[in-house]
Amino acid sequence: MVVLYDLELEQLNVKTAFLHGELEEQIFMRQSQGFVIQDVNGLKEQLKREFEMKDLGATKRILEMEIQRDRPAGILYLSQKKYIERVLQRFEAEYIVAIEAVKEAIWLKGLVGDLGLKQESSIVYCGSQSVMHLTKNQMFHERTKHIDVKFHFIRDLVS
């Protein structure tokens, strides 16, 4: 709609009481019939008088999405690239931590064997469903191609 109607895309941070507590009621809001904003800056000034707020200017980021606008070309770009990179880095770190835990379990099993004791199996607990799924699934996933092959030995141990 912003591009289609050549609207302004502004961001305001408004502090209000109801945002800081739990609501038990359902709230429905509807714009008054005939309400049209003629002057964005005038509206901002009116809101500043009524609420504690900060004008953040033209929207550049919202809900982990970066926003770029090419007004002359009538294009609005939305990108989640940084968010996706952060998720992948976190997943990779969790996967490597699980692998390190398995390596420690293998070493401990060897140590117990050297002491003349027999250990049938080791249990390694992992709190990440994604990591557990990847270790059990032998198929190559496009989303995991960035993980070094040397880390995938855990799949052989789990299956």
Report whether 155 contacts 135 (CB < 8 A). yes
Tokens describing residue 32: 């008054």
Tell me what pLDDT residue 152 has.
Answer: 60
pLDDT band at residue 158 under the 50/70/90 scheme: low
Kindly list the domain boundaries of the chain, sorted by start residue.
Answer: 10-79, 84-158
Stretch 41-49: mean pLDDT = 82
State phi, psi for 80 to the nearest 5 degrees: -115, 20
Q: Would the pLDDT of 126 be above 60?
A: yes
In the predicted structure, residue 141 carries a pLDDT above the cut 70: no
Kindly report the average pLDDT of the chain as a whole number. 78
Statement: residue 159 has pLDDT above 60: no
- List the single range of 16-25, 117-126, 128-137 with lowest mean pLDDT: 16-25
Contact 11, 56 (CB under 8 A): yes
Please write the tens of the pLDDT for every residue from 96-113: 888 888 888 888 888 888
Rounded to whole angstroms, what are the CA distances from 27 to 24, 30, 45, 52, 136? Answer: 9, 10, 26, 21, 45
- Give me the mean pLDDT over the 64-77 stretch: 87
